[in-house]
Structure 1
Amino acid sequence: MQRAQLAPSGGSRRLKDVIGSFMRINRFLRISLIALAATTAMVTPGFVSQSGMVLAASEPSSAAVEAARLALKGDFVAAGQAAQRSGDEAAIKLVELIYLRDHPNDAGYQRILAFLDTAPKWPLSEALLKRAERSLYVNKESSELILAHFARRKPVTDEGSLALARALLATGDTKGARAQVQKVWADPEATAELEKQVAAEFGDLLTEDDNKRRMWRLVYAQETNAAIRAAKRLPSEYQKAAAVAQKLVRGEKGADKLYAGLPSAMRQQLGMRYALARYHRVNDNYSKAREVLLGVPGDADKIGDAEAWWIERRIVARRSVGLDDNKAARKAAYKISAAHGFADGDEAVEGEFLAGWIALRSLNDPETALRHFQRLAAIAPSRTEKARAGYWTGRAYEAMGDKGSAKAAYREASAYSTIYYGQLAREKIGLGKVPEEIESGKASSAAQARVAQDEVVRAFKIMTEAGTKNDLYMFLWSFANRFDTTDEMNAVASIVWDAGGATMAVRLAKAAAAQNVDIDSWGYPVRALPDWKQVGKPIEKPMVYALARQESEFNPNAGSKVGAQGLMQIMPGTAKLIAKQHGIKYNPSQLMNPELNVTLGAAHLGDLVADHGGSYVLTLVSYNAGPRRSREWIKEYGDFRAGQVDPVDWVESIPFQETRQYVQKVMQNLHVYRSRLAPKTVRPMTADLMRGARTDSLNVASTSAAPEAAAPEATADAAPQGCAKSSIASLITGCD
């Protein structure tokens, strides 16, 4: 939706009126509401809280909706007046939020903080706080204001750190200022423009060591043009090293010989060792990559950029446990993954799992594996990781012959019955053929009442009537942070479903799951797809649902950067071929029609499964990573359909993180939807992983929509077309 733009700051009397109006609203917000509570001429009946503040009725008044509509059109003076007439604090705050969202550069620090102080845990709080920090720096606010701001919180942006450095310098704290500037200078995401500003204003605080640190951090970030620019502040040997590092990072032929020509001291720099390890890895020389990685310290605080090192460790370790890798390679893979160096966070979680899995499945050392899986369980942040830790703990105990402990671990993991590894654990305790029970999504009356009175929920309802669906997405993470019980989140989900349907409910459920709150009944909706015509090779309905949930989150208007469209994310060219093959009347303009999109997508999926001998796993690999990957990885890791390898291990061996997680999530979705849509067809997960006839070659349909993987390590899904790019707007469009 195109937003009306206000004139630049200082450019018109109208803008001054707008700002003045809203500063008055913020200043007298609570006073106005208390006064409204005492009047008899309320716009709508209201609840009065213990503080005496008016809480509007659960359904928004016409004045509140009109206020939001006016704000969305850019008429903020009239919007503010309508919001005050409504007597609804949620409407007043919503109008201000819309202004801050659409005009963040005009708002200024004081206005943003006034909103954040009166509206904690509202949508966009984090983004607005970052904008406030940038305002402190760009507008050169007073030292007193800056120090007061950071007395309550640490900087979360580079601009915030520089604003604090400026204020500390003004008070004579050179040491404190230097620490803030050094932090920014070491940030590889600092732009070239910001780099110039830092050098101009704070250059006297920077040392040669700081310049070296910046150059190496840019190498780790693969920002090699910026690294070469940074090296110009250093002696000539560093400039030469930066140029060689660029060639190594890019995997250019002969770069290793240039590396060998560097002085010994420069070759031993950790940043150069990182570039060399990456060079060998991208050129598929995993033996040499292992040699480099084994010589690197395991302490995350001593290796420059531990996150960058971990990516190399993870990829090389996974590519060192194939059929052709000897025991020495597997031992090296264990050492590399076990030396991740992290105490917590995503890297520690993946590092402990990977070390344990390699110890158990590649080295037959269940005792060592168990220690890693137990550490994983202790730091697992999410249901997904808790289920994975429990399942593999059970596998380790099972390998040790401790059946009782194994069963206990499996039972604990099986509690996460909508998670891939929880489903595998259910199979281990004899529940593989039993439909998974998902608790009702109905909230209690008490929870519904509490949620109805929440001001952010009221603001959501106002926006539902006043705006578009894209205006609603910004509320979902806020809801997940405001409500921490399943009962309350079920109440919220009901409201969200009414406003945005299946897509929004699924996204809310994912946000809740990230906070370890289970509303799976809303996360796996059964009324999310239209009825479609079955054509071509048969494909079970739960699988169509499983794929659509992963591909589009049931959004009929979804579009990807590469052009895939609709519920099933079909490429237009693929749709044309499918329609021709199955005799379906087709016009490209109709591809976003939900029924046609699912009909074509289901037909294509059925064809792909048939082309892959009935194997769901190989179909999903081809769909996500490209047709040739199935053949590559069967050769590298064995054919699970022929019993050469455990199918659970084969899936876990998939070297592309995105593809591995994609296969696991779609298979997880499949089992949930079998329980919900066709409970009589429920079967153990392992049986589904192994399904499919073994063939000498895999025939991939010519209509395949899956592109070849463009890079050896892809981790992010494409965002929907039309996603906003600005720092705040991108958070509210439904793009994630």
Structure 2
Amino acid sequence: MFSKLVLIGAGVSGAALTAQTMVQPLPQSHPAQRQSWPPRGLDQVVPTKTAPQTVQPTPQATYDPLVATIDTWKRLQQSDSWPFFDYANFLLAHPGWPGESGRRLAAEAVLDSGATSPALVARFFERFPPTSGAGRARYAEALMALGRTGEAQEQARLAWRRGPLRPTDEAKPITGFPGAIGPADHDARMDALLWEGATSAAQRQLALVSPGRRALYAARLAFRTRAVDASSYDAAVQPADRDDAGYIADRAQWLRNGGSSPAARSYLAQPRRTLTPPADVEAWYEVLLANARGAAADRQYQVAYDIARQIDDAYPSGTDVSTRPYGERDDYTSLAWLAGQTARRNLSRPRDAAYMYARYAGGSRTPQTQSKGFYWAGRASEAAGDGAAAQNYYAQAAQWPDLYYGQLASERMGRAIPRVAAGAPAPVDPAVRDAFFRRGVVRATRLLGQLGRTADQSLFVRQIANDAKSASDHALAAELAGQINRPDLRVMVGRSASLNGHVALVGTGYPTLPTNGAAAANFTMVHA
């Protein structure tokens, strides 16, 4: 499948604490730079004869042990090759710190055997479920070493079904966990290997698949390897298997890679009766998207629309696409937008366009995308003569009055655009407040600012923004933003509040700067 780099940002906002609750900065010197106390020679001070006095001891500079924890975090972020125990012990002691997902992957990659310190390995994976086949294999080994045979067999089975494994691991789920792997698991592994493009492993796996699926997998492997006799393998596929998403995707890519892009597009544009859902939804969507975009670029608008509109059969009925992983959502909304735009602008089918714009909105978690989709669904419904549907879509877009398309929707309904202002946050329970400010991530954020490590602090600021879910989370993050003088955190909080449905806190995401003197007449430009 095509690789995808995703940058995901989030945000938080805040209000300053009162002077009585402001935390005073710690000394700015690094521990390594501090001199011992008392300074050399201070203990030799002699009182004058005219004014006898006692020298008071100078208070020793306070060292916060959190500095060492932050330095350990920094060290672990800088390499994927530290021992597993370094990653595991830190993550277990400090869950939720920035970069956690990457350190989990690193921990799984460097662990050679789960049978080494199995108690720690099991505890790590119980807290942080494996994200790779190698991780599941190590978890299985740890569980087996602890005598938890049934759980070990289940993890070995899941590792096998996931697809690619290290060459040294490939035989272990079968030989090391007798009875764990069945025929359905062999088929699932073959499917996963083909979606991953792991053709060498798939060649070895082909002999293990069930007889009823062997022709399907042999054809897919031939497509993937561009075998000269791929057509012969294709002819042997049973009709029931021709609705398999993996078969359709691999055959389309084989046609496209062989210089038959028009044939690949026409093939994908055909109406599908029932689809065997893809094991890798993101990879499936990327095949559709590449061919739909190619068709649109060549002005094959009907073909582009017919490819892009067939997006919902990748999931079981009733699936909320907005809860799916980002890569899937991103491709889903790209296909829905392409279909909507093509139907409205090139095919003069506004009713179909409205449906696809609504799918675009429903496949996203972000208010920016949702408001855009609902607004254009309203415009398309208007063009189709369905005023009631248009008003309904506009109303859904207008629930975000701070966003461009929310404001356009309000105008289409004849409503005044409401003013977005930062209201007073609701009172927060003292126990909730105390727990928030005691969190390691929050304490580290404050300390990094006092140490002048702004770049590292920014990572923690974003983490706090990403973690905010409840109204109190957002209100307290807003307070923190004021305390540490990070107005960007307030912007993030405002966006996060909008994302999580806390409309009353959205206004905190629009901090204002002092505009005295000459700047007073340029408020708009200062805040642009």
TM-score (norm 1): 0.48
Question: Shift of residue 312 of structure 1?
Answer: 1.9
Distance 1:439 1:201 in 2: 61
Matches of 1:94 and 1:69, distance apart in 2: 17
1:35 aligned partner: none
Letter in 2 for 1:227: T
Specify which of 55, 58, 64 is matched with residue 23 of structure 2.
Answer: 58
**Residues 377 and 386 of structure 1 are in contact (CA less than 8 Å); yes or no, is this contact kept in structure 2?**
yes
Letter in structure 1 aligned against 2:311: S
The Cα of 1:387 is off from its aligned counterpart by 0.7
Residue 160 of structure 1 aligns to a residue whose secondary structure is helix
Matched, 1:294 2:266: no
- CA contact under 8 A between 1:241 and 1:266: conserved in structure 2? no
Q: 1:67·1:95 contact (CA, 8 Å) conserved in 2?
A: no
Instruction: Determine the structure 2 residue equivalent to 1:689.
Output: none
| Structure 1 CA distance for aligned equivalents of residues 282 and 507 of structure 2 | 32
From 51, 73, 77, the counterpart of 1:97: 73
Matched-pair contact (CA < 8 Å) for 1:355–1:372:
yes
Deviation at 1:375, TM superposition (A): 6.0
Alpha-carbon distance in structure 2 between the residues aligned to 1:279 and 1:353: 26
Matched, 1:677 2:513: no
* Matches of 1:233 and 1:120, distance apart in 2: 38
Matched, 1:416 2:392: no
Partners in 2 of 1:104 and 1:330 — Cα distance? 43
Alpha carbons of structure 1 residues 215 and 483: separation in structure 2 relative to 1, 3 Å: closer
State the alpha-carbon separation in 2 of the partners of residues 334 and 103 from structure 1: 41
Give the direction of change, closer, same or farther, for the CA distance of 1:163–1:228 in structure 2 (3 Å limit).
Answer: closer
Deviation string, structure 1 residues 162-213 (Cα, Å, up to 9, x no partner): 122213444677665454334434546x5xxx52121243343667875665
2:315 — aligned with what? 341
Whether contact under 8 Å (1:90, 1:456) holds in the other structure is no
Helix, strand or coil at the partner of 1:336:
coil
Could you give the per-residue CA deviations for residues 364-392 of structure 1, whole angstroms, max 9, x where no partner exists? 66666656655665564221232134213
Q: Does 1:313 align with 2:288?
A: yes
Residue 475 of structure 1: CA displacement?
0.7
**1:388 paired residue number:** 372
Q: Which amino acid aligns with 1:260?
A: S
**Residue in structure 1 matched with residue 16 of structure 2 by the alignment:** none
Contact persistence 1:69–1:467 (CA under 8 A)? no
Structure 1 counterpart of 2:156: 181
Say whether the 8 Å CA contact 2:444–2:460 is kept in structure 1: no
Q: Report what 1:43 is aligned to.
A: none
- Deviation of the 1:410 alpha carbon: 1.7
Cα distance in 1 for residues equivalent to 2:229 and 2:510: 53
Contact 2:465 2:492 in 1 (8 A): no
Contact kept? 2:292, 2:305, Cα under 8 Å: no
Measure the CA separation in 2 of the matches of 1:122 and 1:472. 12
Partner secondary structure for residue 97 of structure 2 = coil
Q: How does 1:574-589 map to 2 (within 5 A)?
A: none
1: CA distance, partners of 2:404 / 2:284 = 28
Q: Distance in 2 between matches of 1:404 and 1:293?
A: 32
Alignment match, 1:227: 199
Does structure 2 conserve the Cα–Cα contact (< 8 Å) formed by 1:337 and 1:354? no
- Contact 2:421–2:508 (CA under 8 A) maintained in structure 1: yes
Is 1:277 aligned to residue 248 of structure 2?
no
Q: Secondary structure at the match of 1:123?
A: coil
The residue type paired with residue 24 of structure 2 is E
Give 1:460's match in structure 2, choosing from 430, 434, 445: 445
Change (3 A) 1:67 1:162: farther
**Which position in structure 1 is the counterpart of 2:142?**
167
CA–CA distance in 1 between the matches of 2:255 and 2:219? 20
Of 235-244 and 403-412, more deviation after overlay is shown by: 235-244
Relative to 1, partners in 2 of residues 1:104 and 1:260: Cα closer, same or farther, differing over 3 Å? Answer: closer
CA deviation vs aligned residue, 1:269-312 (integer Å, no higher than 9, x gap) = 7545422312445657245323246376654x633433211122
Q: Give the whole-Å Cα distance in 1 for the aligned partners of 2:294 and 2:394.
A: 28
The answer on 1:479 being equivalent to 2:479 is no
Computed over aligned residues only, the root mean square deviation of the Cα atoms, in angstroms, reads: 5.2
| Unmatched 5+ stretches in structure 1 | 1-55, 71-83, 248-254, 528-673, 683-736
For the Cα contact (< 8 Å) 1:219–1:227, is it kept in 2?
Answer: yes
What does residue 52 of structure 2 align with?
A: none
The answer on 1:197 being equivalent to 2:179 is no
Residues 126 and 216 of structure 1: is their aligned pair in 2 closer, same or farther, counting only changes over 3 Å? closer
Between the two structures, name the one with larger relative contact order (CA 8 Å, sep ≥ 6).
2
- Residues 114 and 139, structure 2, Cα contact 8 Å, conserved in 1: no
In the TM superposition, what whole-angstrom CA distance separates every residue of 1:520-542 from its partner, at most 9, and x where no partner exists?
A: 87689999xxxxxxxxxxxxxxx
Of residues 103, 113, 131, the one that matches 1:156 is 131
SS in structure 1 of the partner of residue 166 of structure 2: helix
SS at match of 1:140: coil
After TM superposition, list the pairs within 5 Å mapping 1:25-44 onto structure 2.
Answer: none
The equivalent residue for 1:401 is 385
- Cα deviation for residue 421 of structure 1 reads 3.6
Q: Does the CA-based 8 Å contact 2:115-2:145 persist in structure 1?
A: no
Cα displacement (A) at 1:161: 1.0
SS of corresponding position for 1:288: helix
Instruction: Give the 3 Å change call, closer, same or farther, for CA 60–197 of structure 1 in structure 2.
Output: farther
Normalization by structure 2: what TM-score? 0.63
Q: What CA distance in whole angstroms lies between the structure 1 residues aligned with 2:484 and 2:95?
A: 21
Do residues 262 (structure 1) and 233 (structure 2) align? yes
Q: Which residue of 2 aligns with 1:693?
A: none
Asked if 1:245 is matched to 2:224, the reply is yes
* Matched residue type, 2:455: N
Residue identity opposite 1:291 in structure 2: Y
Q: d(CA) in 1 for partners of 2:122 and 2:509?
A: 45
Which secondary structure state, in structure 1, belongs to the residue aligned with residue 167 of structure 2? helix
User: CA 1:446/1:215 → structure 2, altered by over 3 Å: closer, same or farther?
Assistant: closer
* Number of positions where the alignment pairs a residue of Structure 1 with one of Structure 2: 442
Structure ID, larger Rg: 2
After superposition, the Cα gap between the structure-2 partners of 1:129 and 1:472, relative to the gap in structure 1 and judged at 3 Å, is: same
Q: Where does the alignment leave 5 or more consecutive residues of structure 2 unmatched?
A: 1-20, 35-59, 208-213, 515-521
Distance in 1 between the 2:273 and 2:287 partners? Answer: 14
What is residue 629 of structure 1 aligned with on the other side?
Answer: none
Q: Residue 261 of structure 2 aligns to which amino acid in structure 1?
A: N
> What's the counterpart of residue 601 of structure 1?
none
Distance 2:389 2:277 in 1: 38
Deviations, residues 470-498 of structure 1 (Å, cap 9, x unaligned)? 32332133211444445444444456665
- Cα distance in 1 between the residues matched to 2:229 and 2:500: 49
How many Å separate the matches in 2 of 1:320 and 1:524?
Answer: 45
Residues 374 and 393 in structure 2, CA contact (< 8 A), matched pair in contact too: yes
Structure 1 Cα separation of the partners of residues 418 and 523 of structure 2: 6
- Between the aligned residues of both structures, percent identity stands at 21
**Contact 2:219 2:230 survives alignment (8 Å):** no
State how far apart, in whole Å, the 1-side matches of 2:385 and 2:371 are: 21
Q: For 1:303, which of 273, 278, 281 is the aligned residue?
A: 278
Cα offset, 1:67, TM superposition: 4.5
Distance 1:452 1:180, change over 3 A: closer
Equivalent position of 1:706 in the other structure: none
For 1:420 and 1:183, how far apart are their aligned partners in 2? 46
Partner-residue secondary structure (3-state), 1:303: coil
Q: Which moved more, 1:276-285 or 1:363-372?
A: 363-372
